Amino acid sequence: KGAVRFAGRFGRLPAGAVAGEQVGVAFDELAGFAKPGLTAPALATAAATLVTFLQGYLVARGLGLAVGFWTLSAGLAAVSIASLLPVSVAGIGTREATLALYLAPRGLGMSSILGFSVAYFVVVSGSLALLGAGAWMIRPSESTVPAS
């Protein structure tokens, strides 16, 4: 059922496509998780992802890079996935390689890509650190609150 919907959106699956059937089963199982209580977290995740893409776009604009929002967002989505590989610390290296593979064919030079990658890492990590610091100041963990 899910494979048929998926194939209808993106083309036809070859007859006897085992991978397509597995994708369909995965979609069917995911549909079973769709409950009203997941709407708010899903919307919050989508909003956070959009903010991250916007941060990346603003960093690119600030550096004077000629790259569109959607092009950069697709590259940053690939970076997000590649950064999950357990081959480096904080995705350093995998982020740069993924951006190079994605943005170099679109006309950006390696120095621009590496500069953007470092600036993006600092901006995203810095904003997360500031949000975490703010949350801690509002409600510090009980282990750090002095006993009265």
Residues 20-36 have pLDDT tens digits of 677 777 777 777 777 77
Task: Tell me the residue ranges of DSSP E strands in the chain.
Answer: none
Identify the three-state secondary structure at position 66. coil
Q: Quick one: pLDDT at residue 4?
A: 54
Helices (H) and strands (E) counted in the chain, each on its own, are 6, 0
Q: Tell me which of 58 and 125 has the higher pLDDT.
A: 58
Q: Quick one: pLDDT at residue 1?
A: 52
- Using the predicted structure, report yes or no on whether residue 145 has a pLDDT greater than 60: no
DSSP H helices, 34-93, are 39-62, 69-82
The answer to whether the beta carbons of residues 73 and 56 sit under 8 Å apart is yes
pLDDT interval class at 63 (50, 70, 90):
very high
Mean pLDDT of the chain, nearest integer: 81
pLDDT in tens, 67-101: 999 999 999 999 988 888 888 787 788 888 999 99
- Which residues contact residue 44 at a Cβ distance below 8 angstroms, ignoring those fewer than 6 apart? none
pTM of the prediction?
0.65
Q: Quick one: pLDDT at residue 85?
A: 82
CA distance 105 to 92: 21
Q: Which two tokens stand for residue 114?
A: 């590496």
- Using the predicted structure, report yes or no on whether residue 50 has a pLDDT greater than 90: yes
Work out the average pLDDT over 116-121. 91
Q: Quick one: pLDDT at residue 16?
A: 55
The answer to whether the beta carbons of residues 134 and 83 sit under 8 Å apart is no
Nearest to 117 by CA among 89, 97, 88, 139: 97
